[in-house]
Structure 1
Amino acid sequence: MATSVDFIEYVCDQIRGTGDIRYRKMFGEYMVYVNNKPILLVCDNTVYVKKLECVDKIMSDASLGVPYKGAKEHYILNIDNGDLSKDVIDILEPVTALPKPKVKKIK
């Protein structure tokens, strides 16, 4: 089951106020960017957070899951808890690097 547009827009509404938010469809699912940094992975209407030491404490009660076959285990974010979601974003945004620009191949 793919993520619905309604759900991805709900995710973005829940984290509104944490920075410049946008989402991009990737491989049939979505990546949510905050200030152009990839922060949340949304697959099958489930929000995933990369397991990083900086969020271990705040996500200690979270379930774990694999967003897609071959991926590493991630935390599952309870996006219905807006305060928790914003706190996680506030922790992750400063430590997440901007994506490297794609190099255009000359044909």
Structure 2
Amino acid sequence: MGTRAETMEFLADQLGALPNIRYRKMFGEYGLYCDEKVVAFICDDELFVKPTDAGRAYIGEPDEAPAYPGSKLYFRVSGDRWEDREWLTGLIDATAAVLPTPTPKATAKRKAPTKRKA
């Protein structure tokens, strides 16, 4: 089915209090980033937050489910919780705070063009 752009825009608006929120379309679905860390996936119009001890403590007893076939379990956040902007922002902020900073990708070095001999 895929996630509708309106769903992603709504979630981004709800999380607008966080300064470094962005999202990116991936494989027909979306990845949600906070401070350049992937904190959640939005698949089939459902929010799946990366599992962390901080997130578990924040939620209490999370509903765990795979974000896509074959994936590990994530914390599935129901649509009614999306309406609570403060709660949702707190969860994403707590999750991002404990995730490691991604390592920068190495850039490929270009070889200098070789000159042809005449």
TM-score (norm 1): 0.86
* Contact 2:52–2:98, Cα closer than 8 Å, also in 1: no
Aligned length: 107
Taking the aligned partners of 1:79 and 1:65, their CA distance within structure 2 comes to 17
Q: Which has the higher helix share?
A: 2
Instruction: Give the CA deviation at 1:74.
Output: 0.9
Runs of 5+ consecutive residues of structure 1 not aligned to the other structure: none
SS at match of 2:24: strand
1:53-87 Cα offsets, whole Å, 9 max, x none, are 11112222432211011111111123222121111
Q: 2:101 aligns to what? A: 98
Q: Which residue of 1 aligns with 2:86?
A: 83
Which deviates further from its counterpart, 80-89 or 57-66? Answer: 57-66
Unaligned runs of 5+ in 2: 111-118
1-structure distance, mates of 2:85, 2:61: 16
Q: Which residue matches 2:113?
A: none
Identical-pair percentage: 28
Moved more, 57-66 or 21-30: 57-66
**SS state at 2:30 partner:** strand
**Rg (Cα) greater in structure:** 2
- With 91-100 and 31-40 compared, the bigger mean Cα shift is at 91-100
